[in-house]
Structure 1
Amino acid sequence: MNPADDVKTVSMTPALYRYLLAQAEPPSPVQQRLIDRTRALGTVAEMQIPHEQSVFLTLLSRLARARLIVEVGTFTGYSTLALALGVEPGGRVITCDLSAEWTDIAREAWQAAGVTERIEPRLGPAAETLRALPEEPGIDLVFLDADKPGYQDYWEQLVPRVRPGGLLLADNVLYGGEAADPEATGNAQAIRAFNERVRTDKRVEAVMLPIADGLTLARKRGTADGAPVPAPGRA
């Protein structure tokens, strides 16, 4: 049977989305204030992840018992806050961004939520920040949500630094549906190329989930899977 003939994904109507959102733990007062402040920025607010995705990030952080998380793309800090709420006691979230204006908004929310000590914001080109990280595999969880053409570089920098069994998440992997188009251009084409890289990367096992604008969840393989992790150049 052609998988396209047996589609079980439910079309997301506004009423269904409201029902889905109601199943998640509601935003805290701090989260709601950050949502409202980000929306007030105008069209750029679309870069903020939806609340149900933030709940998912917190849950995954807790399931992974993450002590070291690396996020690429802070924006106003909503996803960073979600990750910090799930990190293990004494753990930290390193988050990368270029905008001091947006991260200043984030810092206020983190302070109000009481998680400032868990977060290390690093301003500057993310590729440079990642290259400066220790090379040994000690990262427990990665979240990519930044410039789409940079995804493949970030991926190659981070996969070797993630511990075996650690998780890597990439946001916007459907890119509004445009990534499915073989003739995609611009950001959609960059995402399509990134998706193909992840699909063929033998260092990880991955699944693409229809959460928000598409979320890839990958687990780094290790010797416990029955074979050594391939070297980056042989993936």
Structure 2
Amino acid sequence: MRGWRWIVAGAGIVLFAAVLVPRVRTQGPNAPAKKRPPNALEVSRQFLTLHPQPRDEAERKIVAALEDMHVNQSRGMGNVWPEDGRVLRMLTETLGAKHVVEIGTANGYSALWFCLALRSTGGKLTTHEIDPQRIALAKANFKRAGVEPLLTLVEGDAHQTITRLEGPIDLVLLDAEKEGFTDYLSQLLPRVRSGGLIIAHDSSGQADQMHDYFQAIASNPDLETAFVDASRWGMCITRKMK
């Protein structure tokens, strides 16, 4: 009997070890790596179309232009991504924005996202660009998208041209040279209404070039900021509290 007890006990130890050891090994250096959870961009690309489904003929023209620009004109433009565009449109409509200001028109891609929203809010966009080739391209894109009545394209150095802007401004998008963001902020903030937004694009992808801007908004007690990564470039969204 004693011998049988040792056999049974030994079998129990072996069985326990057989169950335990694999569990321990899965935690060791040779364990398979845990699968990384998907980021917001990957989830968006899985479930959403790149561009919204148009609800009428006017939106169809804008969306058609957006789709063509995304495929054929994106290289070298530094445009927002479609996922960023969705956020811009949503924020503009949520604010009921009447006056949106954009610094850095490029070929007009982000401007068209704003125009999708401004059609419903009854607002207008003032967009600034210094590069003549980009200005010509943007004008052509605005014409084919049928959004010319919704915006004003200001040509020249925005550091100078924004001095002529009148408030109140509901939303600002900064998407130009990063070293100029702090100056744009200081000039435009007094014109932004209470509750208005200042959005800086590329806050993740080019964060190393935006430290002065980040410090400026972080040190102002009247500003509240959140960083949003709808795409891999990111947007820094700042709300003027009062």
TM-score (norm 1): 0.76
Aligned CA RMSD, in angstroms, stands at 2.4
Corresponding residue for 1:25? 52
Report percent identity of matched pairs. Answer: 27
Shift of 1:82: 0.7
Mapping of residues 143-222 of structure 1, within 5 Å: 143-176=173-206, 179=207, 188=208, 190-212=209-231, 213-222=233-242
Shift of 1:149: 0.3
Aligned partners of 1:149, 1:193: CA distance in 2, in Å?
Answer: 8
Aligned partners of 2:163, 2:155: CA distance in 1, in Å?
Answer: 14
Unaligned runs of 5+ in 2: 1-35, 55-62
Aligned partners of 1:58, 1:15: CA distance in 2, in Å?
Answer: 20
**In 2 relative to 1, CA 13–63 (structure 1 residues): closer, same or farther, beyond 3 Å?**
closer
Corresponding residue for 2:69? 34
Shift of 1:211: 2.6
**In 2 relative to 1, CA 208–20 (structure 1 residues): closer, same or farther, beyond 3 Å?**
farther
**SS of 2:225's equivalent?**
strand
* Number of aligned residue pairs: 197
Unaligned runs of 5+ in 1: 1-8, 180-187, 223-235
Structure 1 position 79 matched with structure 2 position 99: no
Contact 1:75 1:97 in 2 (8 A): yes
Aligned partners of 2:171, 2:37: CA distance in 1, in Å?
Answer: 29
**SS of 1:48's equivalent?**
coil
**In 2 relative to 1, CA 100–21 (structure 1 residues): closer, same or farther, beyond 3 Å?**
farther
**Deviation above 3 Å: which 4+ runs of structure 1?**
9-17, 20-24
Larger radius of gyration: 2
Deviation per residue, 1:79-129 (Å, 9 max, x gap) = 011112212554210101111211222222222222111111111111101
Contact 1:149 1:191 in 2 (8 A): yes
